Structure 1
């Protein structure tokens, strides 16, 4: 069953709260054999070793036993693609699935904090940003992508359009000329894991439902960093790399440093970086002195700064992953052993040189999985083991409408 722009959705009955989600999660047990798992087969030239497809689990009606199966599979494979969904996943069920990974979390807050007011339609207030509006009936679920949402799409007004990302607004010039973009030239926008980088713990998982996908030939992603690297991917694909692979690619000395070191992220990091330029590869900020001065940011507190280890551990498998957000990095605390002397790096040029050293090796085509979204499929990823990036595609290919859910965790990463 394919969802199109002319489909009419049934209005969901109510917002699902954290309490309701956890109460509804007490469901009859189901036989694990009903879920079939198939590891994704990657190209022989690829070094990607994560990802699996899941069949025969209806996410609109998953059971507690289904969830146990999903959780074990996700921690092992880091990315799950749910195929053959009999109906479009509802926002309430998407939130229920995502929030179930953190039974200790009780606030149900969006991973980036409270959304601002956006608009009102038919007496319903809609919150969020024009590039990330929240679905009113389940505000932890946001619409991402670009273009007009389908007709009668929950409580959104007719002809409501989501503003897409555009590298010309963020990346260092020169930008890809418009005529080349319309011919299929593309970029990675921002390599990251989901999280506010200030005060709020980053989600354990992310969940993305493909409502509408762009129609057109594959696009060519350009590195534009002087290496000449390119990669052909599906239009609107979500690109991913494994933090475990990033860690494995480091030389022994550097790996020893990151295993014992921490990063301090900027206060209100996304506000701080909003006036700066990203590198063309989307992994760092350019050091031009254009970051918003700390004294001009929204009020912030030293005690709410996020200082995270560079390497995080999978709680079920014990696997180590290099999990860093290069653009938000503000200060480094480097040690080459657990009891070594800590060296503090607060010069942004030095901070970014080190971040480039540890991030760039994995950002090569053979290490990147670019997921080709299919309408009505759902992807679920372990946010504490993968990095991901949005990719651009020609406007002539039509809308890309995705429902994303990520929920602030009950804990900060501790290594």
Structure 2
């Protein structure tokens, strides 16, 4: 789920299989699915999320998918409970890809994975923080720690490298002793997508294979406000773009409704030498980004320029969907036919992004999902922001299977 800043996967267009296979689902007239809205804390402003019962994702039907499709667009996050078995990678891909029948490549949303290793004559692609499962290479393994023995053909003792805020965040970092006692950070607030050439996925999907065991952690904002939030170790934190939009003052809301963001070419290569803010929502303006002539070859026609506000095609709800770290240039106007002002000074760009994002990044607006083994979560990637959170190494492994697939379309207002 995290978009690593140490990746080469954005360089090429999607290719992991030679064309997307035709997806057909078993037919049934009705679904036994039931969606139960998640009960949030009494002091929470979170209004999204539902638990789903009655659907076995290893054997879902066309009627089940119709139920899932409608429920996801209305609840934005679904948690599938009581799964009789671990979700198979092939079924995880089938579920995710079914949301976009017009997408033809079947490719991973960050493009071509590099070769990583081989075992028993099988090539394994990906990067150490995100290896792909050979039998279904759009499904990647995220987390930290050793994989179960014999896990989908990976070599014995194979270990997934976890994220570490010391590699990316502005110092000072949290001392290792404090981290082992449960001090944590949000690593990177984002929606999934390469931000260059490839349309961002419509949905994301995570299967919890192994989860860390230990007391709750305390996530620190470390931005001078003293803000903290307690949550389960290894939780995925989420915020609704609709809530972020609602929190803006009227003038700013009107502005974002008509404005666009240009993202940097090969954005994650571009930012790989820079520092994130400690809150994980922006880059610090230190002049440490790679210069454009240091990036892999890029084309102006493949630059992503997206509206700041995206529309849910089922409900019509508007969401502020922005990636603060990848933002390179702003096109601001306060009316559909108004004069457009271009902002290309990175310090000014980031000040504006902070104004948009920081109000929503408060504990009352954040849902920290506590993963339980064998559960599957599915989220609408065009309406939610999310971030991974850190946890002590002594709590054990966090092994997750993630699937997101390049979309057939770029977002529109």
TM-score by length of 2: 0.95
2:143 alignment partner in structure 1: 145
Are the equivalent residues in 2 in contact too, given 1:30–1:63 (CA < 8 A)? no
Give 3-state SS (helix, strand or coil) of 2:401's partner: strand
Which runs of structure 2 are paired with 1:188-199 in the superposition (5 Å)?
188-199=186-197
**Which residue of the other structure, out of 245, 248, 251, is the alignment partner of 1:250?**
248
Are the equivalent residues in 1 in contact too, given 2:204–2:403 (CA < 8 A)? yes
Which runs of structure 2 are paired with 1:8-407 in the superposition (5 Å)?
19-22=20-23, 24-25=24-25, 27-32=26-31, 34-407=32-405
Distance 2:215 2:163 in 1: 20
Distance 1:75 1:201 in 2: 19
Q: CA deviation at 1:20?
A: 3.6
Give 3-state SS (helix, strand or coil) of 1:274's partner: coil
Q: Deviations over 1:243-296 (max 9, x none)?
A: 000000000000000000000000000000000000000000000000001000
Q: CA deviation at 1:414?
A: 1.1
1:408 alignment partner in structure 2: 406
Distance 2:247 2:147 in 1: 41
Q: Closer, same or farther in 2 for the Cα pair 1:374/1:21, shift >3 Å?
A: farther
Distance 2:59 2:132 in 1: 23
Are the equivalent residues in 1 in contact too, given 2:17–2:105 (CA < 8 A)? no
Q: CA deviation at 1:156?
A: 0.2
Distance 1:394 1:294 in 2: 37
Q: Deviations over 1:286-323 (max 9, x none)?
A: 00000001000000000000000000000000000000
Are the equivalent residues in 2 in contact too, given 1:333–1:342 (CA < 8 A)? yes
* Equivalent residues, number: 398
Q: Deviations over 1:90-113 (max 9, x none)?
A: 000000000000010010010000
Distance 1:412 1:47 in 2: 30
Q: Deviations over 1:45-76 (max 9, x none)?
A: 00000000000100000000000000000000
1:7 alignment partner in structure 2: none
Are the equivalent residues in 2 in contact too, given 1:21–1:96 (CA < 8 A)? no
| Aligned-residue RMSD, C-alpha | 1.0
Q: CA deviation at 1:18?
A: 6.0
Which segments of structure 1 move beyond 2 Å, counting only runs of 4 or more?
15-21
Are the equivalent residues in 2 in contact too, given 1:51–1:77 (CA < 8 A)? yes
Q: CA deviation at 1:370?
A: 0.2
Give 3-state SS (helix, strand or coil) of 1:288's partner: coil
Give 3-state SS (helix, strand or coil) of 2:151's partner: coil
Distance 2:266 2:78 in 1: 31
Are the equivalent residues in 2 in contact too, given 1:30–1:66 (CA < 8 A)? no
Q: CA deviation at 1:29?
A: 1.4
Q: CA deviation at 1:21?
A: 4.8
Give 3-state SS (helix, strand or coil) of 1:192's partner: coil
Q: CA deviation at 1:328?
A: 0.1
Give 3-state SS (helix, strand or coil) of 2:152's partner: coil
Distance 1:342 1:113 in 2: 32
Distance 2:116 2:150 in 1: 18
Distance 2:17 2:115 in 1: 20
Distance 1:128 1:81 in 2: 27
Q: Deviations over 1:165-214 (max 9, x none)?
A: 00000000000000000000000000000000000000000000000000
Q: CA deviation at 1:37?
A: 1.1
TM-score by length of 1: 0.95
Are the equivalent residues in 1 in contact too, given 2:96–2:403 (CA < 8 A)? yes
Q: Deviations over 1:362-398 (max 9, x none)?
A: 0000000000000000000000000000000000000
